[in-house]
Amino acid sequence: MRKFIPILAIVVALGSVLRLASAEEPRPAGATALSLDEALRRANDVAPQVVLAQYGVREANARRTGAGLRFPGNPRLSGEARPAVTGGSFFGDMGYAAALDVPMDLGGAPGARKREADRGVGVAQAELATIRKQARSEVFAAYIHVGAWARRMEEVDALISIAERILRASTARADAGASGDVDEASARSELSVLQSQRESASRERDAYLMHLRSLLDMSATAPLTLTTPLGNPQPPAAENQLVARALNHKPELAQARAQVAALMATSDRLKSELFPRLSVYLGVDAAPVSPIFGQVGLSVELPVAQRNQQARAVTDAKTQAEQERLELLLRQVVRDVSGRLAAYESRRRELAVLSDKGLPAAERTLELVETGWLAGRFDIFRVTAAARDVARVRALRTDALESAWLEYIALEFAVGGAPL
């Protein structure tokens, strides 16, 4: 058994320096290779919520059709028959009259309606940008989850290899009569636990992989291989730079500004519609017992009562509310960036402590325990406990790495989203 213990320490020590960046998952034949950048670009175009939001932009563009027309309605043609009740034959002296009425909107309402429709397109486009950012954020997080669970699987595979070696050594020693059944039973127990952990990690990875397929509207059965390794996240930019980026590029702010502009355009349209509409009319009036008269004239809508009072009041109230919401959102953006930055830095420090201090200390402990066991001061259970500590610290490091990436995602999307 003793000659297998150095192998345990060597394998564990080597496993501590493995990085996902240096070992990619084998690619199955016919699999779709998907890098992180490709996944984000795909989310920007074909994510289900993005596709549906694009129809909202099309609908807003459709509202621009005919918005600036000067003729608010179709021309109206009217006619009448005038039988002679007195002074002539009822049917033989039948007269007639006809009129063509053409309504026109000569005020500023058509232009205001066109501007309102344009602002509506701006709101729909800003909403689409926000939804695209959210879709990229979800895809980014799912990609990180898949990579983290794939890394956990690799670590468990390395521990399973060690446990299998120990089991073979224990069995050989038991057959030779050098040890009892305790060592073999303990080794089998450790191996079964690791195998169950491997199944659990595989299940979690597959679940996140399927979630990623759903986010990207991909086939459920097509093989999918992620090619971007899960390295250490980079240090962030300065807080003032992140805040400036958020204030200039955060789509939620653009959406709020577009909503305020749209409401102001609606208010302008409602005010412009107070201008009275005009109608030009042409007509003819004829009867056999009287001359034929032609008619041409202009009719004006009399503004005897105010129009759009309720609509204008509601629009003004909504505009004030949206302006206040924008001000609140601007202040919240600064707080969000500051909070996310602090959380990200904390996660990076946690990752650094585990990588630079925790894992080397656990590996050194295993080395010392192994040396003591070889000298007869410890039993095999002490060596197993030290190996478990190494595995635990490595698992904590993977958890910290995953958490750091998730905080990075939260920070990136707090300032406007990952660049494409």
Q: What are the DSSP calls for 93-156, one per residue?
A: T-EEEEEEEEEE--SSHHHHHHHHHHHHHHHHHHHHHHHHHHHHHHHHHHHHHHHHHHHHHHHH
Between residues 119 and 13, the one the model is more confident about: 119
* pLDDT recorded at residue 375: 59
pTM of the full structure: 0.76
Query: What is the rounded average pLDDT of the residues 259-272?
Result: 87
Number of Cβ within 10 Å of residue 112's Cβ equals: 22
Judge whether residue 395 has pLDDT over 70.
yes
* pLDDT recorded at residue 2: 40
CB 167 within 8 A of CB 188: yes
CB 142 within 8 A of CB 228: no
Strand partners, 220: none
Judge whether residue 248 has pLDDT over 80.
yes
Query: What is the rounded average pLDDT of the residues 139-147?
Result: 93
| 3-class DSSP assignment, residue 217 | coil
What is the per-residue pLDDT across 91-115, written as a single tens digit (0 to 9) for each? 666 777 888 888 888 778 888 888 8
pLDDT band at residue 21 under the 50/70/90 scheme: very low
* pLDDT recorded at residue 131: 92
* pLDDT recorded at residue 343: 92
Judge whether residue 387 has pLDDT over 80.
no
Rounded-to-integer distance, Cα 8 and Cα 164, Å = 10
CA 245 to chain centroid, in Å, comes to: 18
Judge whether residue 370 has pLDDT over 60.
yes
* pLDDT recorded at residue 142: 93
| CA distances from residue 209 to 29, 46, 167, 213 in whole angstroms, order as listed | 18, 17, 33, 6
Number of Cβ within 10 Å of residue 384's Cβ equals: 19
pLDDT, the chain, mean: 80
* pLDDT recorded at residue 144: 93
Judge whether residue 176 has pLDDT over 90.
no
φ, ψ of residue 291 to 5 degrees: the values are -65, 165
* pLDDT recorded at residue 299: 79
CB 269 within 8 A of CB 112: yes
The continuous run of DSSP H or E covering 79 comes out as strand 76-82
Order of strands, sheet of 278-287, starting from the edge strand that comes earlier in the sequence? 76-82, 95-104, 278-287, 290-300
* pLDDT recorded at residue 418: 62
Per DSSP, helices labelled H in 225-308 are 239-249, 251-272
Name the burial class of residue 388, with classes exposed (0-12), middle (13-18) and buried (19+) by CB atoms within 10 angstroms of its CB.
middle
Judge whether residue 380 has pLDDT over 90.
no
Strand pairing report for 278-287 and 95-104: antiparallel
The dihedral formed by the CA atoms of 23, 25, 28 and 29, expressed in degrees to the nearest 10 = -30
* pLDDT recorded at residue 162: 72
The size of the chain, in residues, is 420
Judge whether residue 355 has pLDDT over 60.
yes
Judge whether residue 18 has pLDDT over 50.
no
* pLDDT recorded at residue 14: 36
Tokens of 150: 């794939």
Rounded-to-integer distance, Cα 259 and Cα 251, Å = 12
Judge whether residue 125 has pLDDT over 80.
yes
Among 413, 395, 399, 354, residue whose Cα is nearest residue 198: 395
* pLDDT recorded at residue 39: 92
The continuous run of DSSP H or E covering 279 comes out as strand 278-287
Query: What is the rounded average pLDDT of the residues 142-161?
Result: 88
Judge whether residue 53 has pLDDT over 70.
yes
Among 11, 15, 20, residue whose Cα is nearest residue 359: 15
CA 80 to chain centroid, in Å, comes to: 64
| CA distances from residue 127 to 55, 133, 135, 151, 299 in whole angstroms, order as listed | 11, 10, 12, 36, 44
* pLDDT recorded at residue 203: 93
pLDDT band at residue 190 under the 50/70/90 scheme: confident
Strand partners, 290: 287
pLDDT band at residue 405 under the 50/70/90 scheme: very high
Rounded-to-integer distance, Cα 355 and Cα 208, Å = 26
* pLDDT recorded at residue 11: 36
* pLDDT recorded at residue 174: 67
Tell me the Cα Rg of the chain.
38
